[in-house]
Every structure is written in structure tokens, then in C-alpha cells.
Chains A and B, each alone.
Chain A
């Protein structure tokens, strides 16, 4: 096999050139324009049996499409003595004289170019094709790193630079977020800060991922990251103890802002941002406010990056608890989520003007998940800052390894207006595996509200857990993860729908 085709193709090219291949490829394989796609959709049928089924080929000598499965292209080739045909799915050329597909460098080049612009035209990234520089690099560095099931590549301790464990534990969680890792290791970031990429937090994350997955085992010193955080998020600067949750939100916000520019959308519309942070972490929270008077429901949907869950007894602790039952402190993540999504009576002191009956009325409000994020971050509100006192709630809140979010979706919203029809229920149950999540990182806080230390657990491969305590990484059991206190819980969606 060679890349110079066969003698039959060479003879054909000498006589007719590559124009007919070019046209066939441009219009029927990688249809560039909408018009070409319409034409492709309408005319790609076997001229003999009229089916659109598998392996349609086009004759390279005349206008004829025939299917390979039912021998129509073969019959055409034999009767007309047209030896060459193009596969209309992959663009490969078949030579009937040789009895096999043949490979020709020149035609492959045309196909490659067309394919690339086609992918661009429908917004696909396509496969990675190495550039000349990258090919050279690959040749110069022939050693390949293979990740086996028990490999520890990706594990790296982080030196504590003075009460910076709040940062270290979040960095560990982010560097072990599968989709984020894929994004950074495949070098997708296109820095928008011209000439000041050292100020770009996304570029720093790129370097950080390189460090983490380099196979080096000595702890990494994240001083550049810390410096960037200090310059961009002044409220976190200094050597004081900080809240890991606050850092997570600040980091996501900075990454999101530094990604901007390559998403092609206006900064005034953050809800529809498609930067990598929003693709992974953003979900949609639906809020339904029901007027007690006329039962009119007004719905709004807001984006969120994390869900903060209350742990203590509900404030006020009076009438509304008796209305909706179980006003006690939640004793598991599921209960926290149930409490988060149950209808809440907005008391007489919080009357809202109803859009339908135009009067100020008492109402109930219910939050549900309209759109689930790929990574769900749950923040257990362990630090209570009520009037007069601050305290840490150290109650053990069990959380599962696998979480099904279906009951908390807007589509499963239990509703006394009766719009939850059977259809909705059925749709929800048939799609329930769509809403399953797996735990992949847990941040824990040890100590009191005044002073303490953050550590975290991260998942490597499918089922190996490690405990990260600044520069120390130790193997951990799933059991010890699930028995830990839990402050921030990171879950990854099991089934990803693509955008």
C-alpha cells in the first residue's frame, strides 16, 4: 500500500485532473454551505434502487451514484468500464480494477482541506491534526507516557505558602475535574490578554495542569497562582485564613472573565456565555413564585455555579414548618436538597405584587433545577453567622457516592396546580439515568470557625481515592471519604449531553 494511488488513478488524473474529485468532495461529502447541504440531502440516493442506505459511492467518471451494499456501483463500473468511484461518507477512492480502496496523497490533501473548513462551518472542533512544529516535537520526544490503571500521574502535593490550604484544596478539586483536565491538557485555551498572558489566570491554570500531570512527584509551589489571585481578587490577599468556598467562587469568576473574548459573545450577557467554566459549572435554577390569591405562577431562571445548602434549623421556625412538614435539621445531603427545593411560604412581611391580580399578596416560592450543570458543587453552610454569634455546625451530613438529581428537577416539580401530568412523569423517569452524578472531590474543614485547616479527597481513575493535605498525598478508602464531615462536595454528571 502506498500513498501514490494506483496506475489506474494516475492515468485518470493525468487525463482529467482532480477537478471532479474536488467537486464531489465539496458538494457531497463535506458540504460547506447550507445550499450544498440541502442538495446533498436531496440527491444522495442510489440511482438504481433509490435508497439512501449505507456506503453510497459516486462514479468519478460520470454522474452516477450507486450503493455498494447492493452491488449497484459495481454493476455500473463493469458495464460502463468506469473504474474509479468515491465513497460518499469518507471520501475514499475505490478502484474496481485493483479491487480495493486506494490512497492518493493529492486527493487526501483535498479531502483534508475541505473537511477542515466543513468542520469550521458547522462549529465542530474536529480531530486534532498536528502541525509541522508539533510533528517535529513528537519526533524529538519519542517517549510516550502511558497511563495505566494504577498510575499515580496527576497526583501532586501543594506547598502551603502561609494559610493557603483554602487555595490548595480547591486547586486539587479543579485539577481533578475530568472535563477541565481534558480542556487544559488538550491545549484549548486561546489567550486573549495579548502581551500580558502572565496576568491571565487561565494560562496559569494551563501551566498548573502541566505541572500536575508531568509525572513529577515532588510538591508543587503555587506561588504564581497565589500572586495572580492576590492581584485579581484583592479581598483574598494576605496571609490570613480564608474560606475555601469564597476562593472557589472567586477562582471560577476570574477564570470565566479571563476566558472571555474567545467565546464571541458580549460581556453584557453572561447567562449565555460558553466559556469552559460556564460549560462545566453553570446550571439553571428555576424560581416559581405562586400568588396565594390567584395561584398565578411567575417563573424566573437564574444561572448558578454552586448550591449553598442550609444545615441548621430553619430560621423563624414557626408556621411555615408546620405547613410543609419536617422543619427539623436536615440529616443527609438528600434532605438538604429536598429542603432547598421545597415550596417556601414567604410570610406576610414579604408580600409581592402579583403580575396577574395586581395586588400585593402573600406567596410561596419554590426553587428547582431547570438545567443541571456538568459539575455540581454543593456547599454545606457549616459556618453560621447569625446576629450576635458565629459558630461552626459540625453535624455529620451523609452524602452518597452516586447522586440522582431527578427529584430536584423542575420537570419533577410537585405542584398543587396540577400541571404535573403523567407525560411529564414518564419523561422524567425514562431520562433518570441522565441526571445521575458521581462524587469526585470532597473538601473538608477541620477546626473551629476562628481557625482551622482544609484538606480534601480526590478521585483518581474510576475508584481510587486520595487524601490531599497540602504537600502530603495519601491513599484513602471510599469509606473514609463518605464518613468525612464534608464542606464542599463535587459531583460529576455521568452522562454528558453534548451542546
Chain B
């Protein structure tokens, strides 16, 4: 794009982000403040992820961008176009072909490899924010690894609802040291973060924080012995590809409330269908079991 540097950001800004990324990798799960810039997309729409992607992307990379697991949602399209325009990099919808995957709210179903980097867009990097809005205070709590209040909150959930009520952005403990917000991925995706072969980078533009989980690093969802963590998905099969283990979107197909359940990961679904898997194509009468 004429008038702008490769991948939009100027080199000084990239250096600032790169320095923050290196420290983030060295201190897994710790939120590193960075001089987040205004981007030509609004805060809250992926500016943190975009800045990280811009700082790591090179001419030989192949970029995949997903939102809600899909490559074709409008914001994913918008961000993919931004990099196609400003960096001229190759883009793909195929998870295995990508070297860099920027995501909002999902981790692909296809297992990521060592030669891939996944960049998460993070709206709220502070896992303690719902308990304590003061950042000066949460910073202190992280310094002291004072995470008791979070366990108390989860236990209160169990007393009130019979189970932990958090179903997305479910807090995790990284490398047995830092409590971390996994971004608003469904709790179903949390186990994929544990010992993942790919490098995981997290960018929160508005909140101006970067953090990371190196490959093969312990990521444990908080739980209790008598209430172990459970990765929950809708108890259905994908109506398109018949997958029984993927995370499903629920689509309302008519006025009588009939639902169809389909894979949220569109690439996973397409790949399965190409391989001959076929769903019923039929809606179900009721959403519940």
C-alpha cells in the first residue's frame, strides 16, 4: 500500500512490540504493557492481535484470519484484507497451510504444529477484572500470585448454580505461575492450549497488554477436585459433516425454533466434507438433549 510501511506499522513501533513479545515469551502468562497504537480499525475489533501480527509477519508467511472459527465472518474478512493490502502476504483459509493464524474467540479444531504461531485478539487481558476493577491492585495480585479470590469466586458459583458458571474466557493457570485470560474462547477450547506445539501470542490493543504462552507449556483451567473442569459442547453432531467432537454453532432455521448444529470451525467442516463425511443436513426439533 503506497505511503505506508510493510504491514502498516512503522519500524519503531514494530521494535517496541517485538521487545514486548520477547519478554512475554520469557515470562509465560504475564501481561506486558506496550505502547499500543491507534490502528485504522476500532479498539475492541482486534487491534491488539493486528499489531502483533503486523510485528511478526514476513513476506514468506501465509496468514489465516478467523472470527468465531470462521474465515468468512465480516471482521475476519476485514482483517485479512487489511494484511493482504498492507503486507501483500499470502492468505489461506486452510489451517494446515497457515504459518500465522489470527483468531477471535476460537482455536482451530485441527491440531496446530510447531511451525505455526497463533495470535489471539483479546478484549480484556486481566483475568481478575471481574473481581477487581483497579489495575494497580490486580497488578499487585499477580506479583504476589494472590489468586485465592478467583478460587473463591468459582466456588461461590458451585454453591449457587451447582457448577462453575463461566463458559468462555475461562481462567487458566500458565506454567503454574500466572493466572491468565485465554481470551473469550469457549471453555471447550481451553485444553487445546495445554502443551500446544505452536507458539501462542495474545494482544489487547485497547488495554495495551501483550502476553504469551510458549510451546509445550502447562496451561491448566482452574477447577476443584470435586468439580473438575469440563470442556462442554452442544451434545449434537454437525449437520453438515457429521463431526461428533467439534465445537458447534447453533443456527435457528425456522419460526418453530428448529435448530441446526454445524461446526463453528468452517475449515474443519469443509475439509471433512471433502473427505467424504456427510451430515444429515436436517435440523433438530429441540435444542436440548
Binding between chains A and B = no
